[in-house]
Amino acid sequence: MNSKVDMDAEQVNIGVVGGGSWGTALANLLAEKGRRIDFWVYEKEVKEQIITTRENKVFLPGVRLSENLVPSNDISEVVSGKDIVVLVVPSHVMRETAQRLAGSLSSETIVVTASKGIENTTCLTMFDVLKQTLPQIPAKRFAVISGPSFAREVARKFPTVVTVASMDAEVASLLQGVFAAPYFRVYTSDDLIGVELGGAVKNVIAIAAGIIDGLGMGLNTRAALITRGLTEIRRLGVKMGANPRTFMGLAGAGDLILTCTGDLSRNHTVGKKIGEGMRLSDILSEMRMVAEGVKTAKSVYNLARKLDVEMPICNEVYHILYEDGSPKEGVYRLMTRTLKQELDER
């Protein structure tokens, strides 16, 4: 393993952990650049599908995967000896997954999280979860990749632009070169907190946008909700030490707009079905892939209360999801709140 941060982006050894749609799309992007990518998938059926048909029919059907993508159900085998490990698992299993692979990583490993969520029990971001579970790795060797990036569109090579953030500029620059492709442009940032929060909280706002669409309330309403939702994300981010400019970038406004308006958004889909009258339990029982905003709504609600951050849209989403609140009554409460100036100091 090369211990230098300025290692050649074309020569690094990479393991990708997580065989959902986004993990598969990222792993395949890296594999199509000509390097072997060891790829951990949880389901044995997914491993066999990739080996025999070069397709992940469960989570990314219809996309032919590179021969350089090597699936495995052995997580230690996938991450051992790697320069870079990319974690793309649902946020609620990030801690357990990191604990499983901790003994196979060295202090020189660069760990990248592409998961978008906040842990329920602790209200920690994925970066903070990983710092706790992988104490042997210095904070500067962690990174986050986020931005407006539906997995299926990346897999189809539609032009996509994202941000990779790290406390270490050299780590961010290396990863920029590792992930960049003619259809996948990568910017760098040092605002790891802001990039993570933008990617996580936008899923909660996307559920709200879906509810608005399910209620048939129109484009004016959706535009207002997205705009005020961005204000809530910024408020929380600034309170937690993020750069407010981050939320006007790819990991903020960019990802928020995509997830609140795109038909491929699982979170928007959940919200729309709720707006149409379905119960959350019935919606989730029909889904095999995770809608991160459902669990993150609880984390954001508790985090906002803990930090005394005003997040009325996120609060209403929590009440609808977890307290059987009425979507129409939630909209009414938002619209009849005390009148205020648009721009606040936070």
Residues annotated catalytic, as ranges:
202
CB 189 within 8 A of CB 164: yes
Residue 264: what residue type? L
Residue 251 Cα distances to 212, 284, 287, 325, angstroms: 23, 26, 26, 30
> 290, 90 in Cβ contact below 8 A?
yes
| Beta strand 110-113 pairing with 69-72 | unpaired
What does DSSP say about strands 142-146 and 110-113: parallel, antiparallel, or unpaired?
parallel
The amino acid at residue 25 is A
Q: 18: which residues sit within 8 A by CB, 6+ positions away?
A: 40, 41, 87, 88, 89, 97, 114, 115
Place of tokens 């991450």: 79
As a whole number of angstroms, the distance between CA 11 and CA 67 comes to 18
- Token digits for 124? 């920690």
